[in-house]
Structure formats: structure tokens, C-alpha cells
Structure 1
Amino acid sequence: MSTSPDPYLPPALRRRVPKPAELAPLMQFKKPAIGTAARLRRANTIGDLRTIAKRRTPKAPFDYTDGAAEAEITLARARQAFLDLEFRPGILRNVKDVDLRTDILGKSAALPFGIAPTGFTRMMQSEGEYAGSRAAAAAGIPYTLSTMGTASIEDVTAAAPTGRNWFQLYLWTDRERSLALVDRAAKAGVDTMMVTVDTPVGGARLRDVRNGMTIPPALTLKTLLDASYRPAWWFNFLTHEPLSFANLSRYSGTVTELINSMFDPTLSFQDLDWLRSTWKGKLVVKGIQTVDDAKRVVDHGADGIVLSNHGGRQLDRAPVPLHLLPDVAAALKGRTAIMLDTGIMSGGDIVAALALGADFTLVGRAYLYGLMAGGRAGVDRAIDILRTEAALTMRLLGVNKVADLNPDHVRLLGR
């Protein structure tokens, strides 16, 4: 075999000594970026925010957010459902402009998702509910405060006066306590009441049991060791107002007694009728897991439903909301607003849910990862990531508007 140079070697492939002028543009060294803003800029997905959050948050609060009930099969299946779907794009469409606005419960939202109710939120990061409500207001989307929140209805609505504030309610055994919260929500300007119906008792959240989690977190030898790796979290925790169930502070009794009084095993459709007659704003029922129950709550006056298994935190191996969605949408035929939560970790997930029949979606863990990663700025970043991903997915599907999404754009693959 000949080893002589190839006489026909193109000039671009011939070796030569680089010229200094050619090297100069390559030698651009940037100063290392440090701090919260830099960390958040480097986060390109909700998964990236989760990684940052895990580094910055003690194990018990992080696991409270990240975990689910028992073997966590429900949560894994909900996320797998989004991974298993297939998008069906249309080509040769003009997608220069994409509009993510949509209407939900009589008002416009700038994005097709809102923030779901989450309890103990200031335990995740000291800004808690205030960061979530303000970020939601800035983004033009609804924020839902939990009954188990660590900021009061009045304080949250005052902190985000231009926002669309919703309130999540547990119907207590003591209806007078429920009525007091309903009255406070109305006076604070809340326009939507979201009643949770999938908690006759609390689920078995084994991560919390194993971590010995308490509210507020206890300073044990284990937590002090954990704190040594996360000094910023503990500094914020110890230098801000102590955690409490802010919406329940007017009532006496221990935390355990208050929680037990909230999860009512006797709850029935008659109680939903009572709430419908009491609350004059929009009424949403959260925790729907069968087609029959979806139809029944609409018959009992619900303006909207949330297909949800409580983020996998109640019944393990519960129905997957995304799998249930097409059947519910077909059964209700536009009679009520259909929302969906559980398992959403990307803007593509949101688009898929809308295509399969949801009118709106809610994100819980996704925004909490942002909160733990960087407070209010982290929540802003989570919303921005979901917005960017949703817009990109719609463009690649050949869709300009949320209203144009339909089941032809998505196929649920079997396993």
C-alpha cells in the first residue's frame, strides 16, 4: 500500500500551523459565574432545578416534596405516562407566532398552567407561598394557596394583590371551621375555591416516617449534621418567622389534632352540596379519579374538576390522571373545566395534557423545585422553563394556539 501524500487532498484538510489571529477569537475566557442567579441561568429543565434543590435543602423537607406514598408506584406511573406518549406533528405550518394564553373559569391566563396547592411551603424555602403567589401574579397565572399553607389567606392576597388567587379547602368534620375559612377567602378576594376530596385519611408517606419529619423541623443530631452541608437554608429558617399553619392559627389544639380534624372520613356528596350553597365564587373539585365521579361532581354544581391522585401521595397504585383524561373529556363534553395535575415535569407534558382534553394544568413539585433552588427567582425560572418548553413543543407540532391542540397531536403508547 502506498504511503505517499494524496496529491488530491483538499486544502481544508492539509495540516498547517495556526496563525495567532485565528486563535484570538477562541481564547475568550469568562469569569466564573457564582451565586443564585448564575445557578438558575444554568438550569435548563425542571430536572436541573431539582438537582440544585436537592443540594440546597435538608433531606426531610426535600423528601417531603419529592416523595409520595408507600412504594411511590403512583408517582412513577404518572411520570411514565408522559414519557410513553408520542407527539404527532403537522408540517408546513406558519408557527412564527405562538400564543400560550387560554381561558380558565371565566378569566384569561397568560399560560395554560397554574400553581397547585402545596402545604408547609415555607419549610421548603423561607419565601414559601409569598414567592409562589408573586411569581404567579407576574406571569399572569393563578396561584392556589393550601389550607395547610404557612402563610395566611390575607397575607398572600396582600402580597400579590394583582394576582389571581385561589384557595384549596379541606372540608373538616367541624363545618364551622370550614365556613370560617370560606368567609375569610371571600373577604380576601379569592375567586375560586378548590375543595380536595381524595383525603378521607392521610396517605402512608414513608419517606417522611423514615426521616422523622416534624413541622417545624426539629433540631436533632441528624438534622444538625444535615445542616452543616446546607447552612443557607438553616440561616433563613432560623432568622425568619417560625413556621406555623397560618390559616389555622386562630384555632387551639395541637398540629396532629388539626390535621386529623381536616381529613374527614365521613365526607359525602351532601357536603359538596353544602359548600356549593355556601361559596358564591367558582367551585373546583380536586382529586377526581374515575369518570363516574367526574360526572357526579358536575351534577352537584362543580364549575371545574382536577384529575389528580394527590401527586401520588395518598393511594399508591391509584389511577393515572393522564390515562383517565381522554375518557373524562369524552364523557363531560365541555360541561365543566377539566384540569390535570400529577407527573408534570416539562412544558411538553403540559401541551400533551391540553391536546388530550384538559383545559388547564396545575404544577406542584415542578414549582417547588424552583423555590428550593432559588426562592422567588427560582419559581420565576421554573415558570420560564415551562413556558419556553411549551412554546417550543407547540411550534414543533405545527400549532399556534392552545385552542388548536387536539387528540390528533398525541398518541398514548401501550407498555
Structure 2
Amino acid sequence: MAVITCIDDLKRLYHRRVPKMFYDYAESGSYTEQTFRENTTDFTRIRLKQKVAVDMSGRSTEGSLLGQKVAMPLALSPVGLTGMQRADGEIKAAKAAEKFGVPYTLSTMSICSIEDVAAHTSAPFWFQLYVMRDQEFLAAVIERAKKAGCSALVLTLDLQILGQRHKDLKNGLSAPPKMTIPNMIDLATKWGWGMEMLKTKRRFFGNIIGHAKGVTDASSLFSWTAEQFDPKLDWDKIAAIRDMWGGKLILKGILDEDDARRAADFGADAIIVSNHGGRQLDGALSSIRMLPSILAAVGGRTEVYMDSGIRSGQDILKAMALGADGCMAGRAYIYGLGAMGEAGVTKALEVMQKELDISMALCGERQLSEVGRHNLLIPKGFFDAYE
């Protein structure tokens, strides 16, 4: 049994146990992958300041997201095709998040449906919405999320047009994978993954098949999906979705100060500073670089979470010290899920919480509410290197 001490340990197991096309789906960005890489490397340029001879007893990593008490200020990001990383993956990840005490976000493009996840959990989860051209489907999926008791709608704004990810095109990404010769050779080495997949009925996009008009099988699903992302999404459409939803609304994909101000003016309950994990506009700045200017732009009028690049407890600590109200992580828990199922998601959360707790203590703080820029060493010009 491998000893898991960090997220990279889970990533190595994940790489060995999950088919190549789904590993590549998670571990890729668009075009040159510059933004994908810098989401993590920019974190390493920010250093922590050690403090000694302070009382480190009575520490807590607890926080609050949208008024919900959480074990640490982290939510699991929406990740499409999670149920292809491990059989029934969304259910397993949601159960792990519930037991640990952090929110789980279900993607529109999930394999397990809204109803599947709701039936296997008791805590409300968040639902992430992609805006589709099909207005009947859009209204219906929002209503389904309401009926399932979802506590927040996470509206993704940065995927009106799909960024090109070379690996997905070369692998012929599909759910379930097509039985090509390269895929069959790869799957022959991933027998554990395959055995679990054979035991589940959940192998297609559960929120779409049987719910979107005319989508009854894999062939009709892919033709429907290819033309459905709405390029006309604007603030008027966002307002209409807000009115349909009627609950707490989080706007995801904010990477510009003017957009952040507009979102705060709009009355969003929270915004997520995110570049979609480097999977959309390659060449955009990392989320951690954009975080301070977006925080300044909203001026405390809405909660601000940071997504894209969170791989450790130290990353969470740095984002919180810069002023984030919380963080979101996708790849870190996907590594755990692909490596070890539900237990792997739990292990990923435990690893990050332990690292957050110890690093916070060694910085001389006992509560996350006490951390700030005084805990950081930031390179000169790091946040204003570009005009």
C-alpha cells in the first residue's frame, strides 16, 4: 500500500490507474498550455514568512462559504466527465465532500445526474450550469437542480465557445471511450477501472441523455452538445437565469476587474476568479496573479473565491492571505478519485487540510481569519508586471 503524503502521490497513482484519454482530459490546457502551467508555477513564486515563539495551540482551519460552515474554506470545483475518472465518480466525490464538511459542485456535463447525486447524499450540493441554446433544456435543468435541493447555482461564464485542447482532439475524447485499437490497448492495462465501469449503468452524460429533446444515445448526444454552448450569453441572459433560479448565485470565470465590478453590481452572492484551469484562453494571466486586483475592484461587496491552480494547503493559505474568501480545487480531488475512489477524494482533502493547518501554524497564525499579506513574501512587481 502506497503511503500518501501529498497530492502528487495521488497524481502518480491516478496516472497509472485511469485511461489515458481521461488523464489527459484533466491534465491539459488549451493551445500551448502556458496559462495551465502558470496557474501552479505562479504560486511557487509567493513565499511564506515563518514566525516563532508564538502560541500555536487551539488552531482551526474552519471557515464559511455562502454562510455555510466548512471544515476548511475549500469547495470541490465542477469537473465534467468525473464519472469517467472512476465509476460513479460524481457520487463518490460528493459523498466524500459531505463527510469531510466542504461543498461539492456538480457539473452540467457530469456522468451521474443531479438526481443520482441527490439520492446518494444528504447535504445540499452546488450545481454548475453551462448556458445552452436550448431554452427548454435550460429551464428544465435549473428546475431539476431546485428540486434536488441544490444550495447554490454556479454559472460558468467563460465557456461560451470551447477552447481547443489538443490532447482531447488527438485522443478522440468520448464518454464512454470508443473502442479504437489505441484505446483498447490502453484499457487492457487499466483493468481495475474497466471492471468498475462494467458494474455501473452510468456511462453517459446523465444530465442530458433523456432530458434534452432528441438526445437518446451517444450519437445524438455528441451532435447536440457540439452546437449547444450559447455564444450569445450576456448580462441580460444572466439576469434571466438569476430570476429562474431564485437562489444563491455564484458567477465563475471572472478574470477582469471590470467584469468583477459588473458582477458585484449585479448582486452575485459570490464570484470565482478562474481561467477554467487554463483550458480556455491560453495566454491569460494566472488566477493568483489576478486575485488582488479583482478583490480591490469588488471592495467586499461579494464573496470572492479563487479557482485554477490550487494543489495544496499552502496554495489555499496563500490565496486566503491575499484576501480570498475561499478556494476551489478540481484536479487535486480528481487525482484522488482516479487513484482510490471515494477514499482518494477524502485523502486529497485530508492532505490539503493538514498542510494548511501546519503551514498556518508555522506562519504564526491560529485562525484563517488572522492571515494576511503580513504572512507572505511577494516578488516586486508580481501583481503589476503587465500594463
Output aligned runs, 1:253-272, within 5 Å: 253=215, 254-272=220-238
Output aligned runs, 1:289-304, within 5 Å: 289-304=255-270
Letter in 2 for 1:190: C
Q: Which secondary structure state, in structure 2, belongs to the residue aligned with residue 54 of structure 1?
A: helix
Q: Deviations over 1:25-72 (max 9, x none)?
A: xxxxxxxxxxxxx23xx1111111000110111111111111111111
Match in the other structure for 1:320 = 286
Match in the other structure for 2:132 = 172
Which whole-Å CA distance do the structure 2 matches of 1:290 and 1:182 have between them? Answer: 27
Alignment counterpart, residue 134 of structure 1, candidates 95, 98, 106 = 95
TM-aligned CA deviation for residue 90 of structure 1:
3.1
Which whole-Å CA distance do the structure 1 matches of 2:286 and 2:229 have between them? Answer: 23
Q: Which secondary structure state, in structure 2, belongs to the residue aligned with residue 246 of structure 1?
A: coil
Number of aligned residue pairs: give it. Answer: 375
Q: Which secondary structure state, in structure 2, belongs to the residue aligned with residue 248 of structure 1?
A: coil
Which whole-Å CA distance do the structure 2 matches of 1:229 and 1:178 have between them? Answer: 39
Q: Does 1:348 align with 2:314?
A: yes
Q: Percentage identity across aligned positions?
A: 36
TM-aligned CA deviation for residue 298 of structure 1:
1.5
Q: Deviations over 1:218-252 (max 9, x none)?
A: 12211121122221111222232141111112122
Letter in 2 for 1:296: R
Letter in 1 for 2:68: K
Output aligned runs, 1:67-82, within 5 Å: 67-82=28-43
Q: Which secondary structure state, in structure 2, belongs to the residue aligned with residue 142 of structure 1?
A: coil
Alignment counterpart, residue 332 of structure 1, candidates 285, 298, 316 = 298
Q: Give the TM-score normalised by structure 2.
A: 0.94
Match in the other structure for 1:222 = 182
Unaligned 5+ residue runs, structure 2?
383-387
Match in the other structure for 2:26 = 65
Letter in 2 for 1:79: T
Unaligned 5+ residue runs, structure 1?
1-37
Q: Does 1:187 align with 2:147?
A: yes
Match in the other structure for 1:94 = 55
Q: Give the TM-score normalised by structure 1.
A: 0.88
TM-aligned CA deviation for residue 175 of structure 1:
2.4
Which whole-Å CA distance do the structure 2 matches of 1:182 and 1:303 have between them? Answer: 17
Which whole-Å CA distance do the structure 2 matches of 1:398 and 1:65 have between them? Answer: 35
8 Å Cα contact 2:111/2:202 also seen in 1: no
Larger-gyration structure (1/2): 1
Which whole-Å CA distance do the structure 2 matches of 1:271 and 1:93 have between them? Answer: 52
Greater mean alpha carbon deviation, residues 88-97 or residues 351-360: 88-97
Q: Which secondary structure state, in structure 2, belongs to the residue aligned with residue 328 of structure 1?
A: helix
Q: Does 1:209 align with 2:169?
A: yes
Letter in 2 for 1:187: K
The two structures, once aligned, show a CA RMSD in angstroms of: 1.3
Letter in 2 for 1:124: Q
TM-aligned CA deviation for residue 127 of structure 1:
3.1
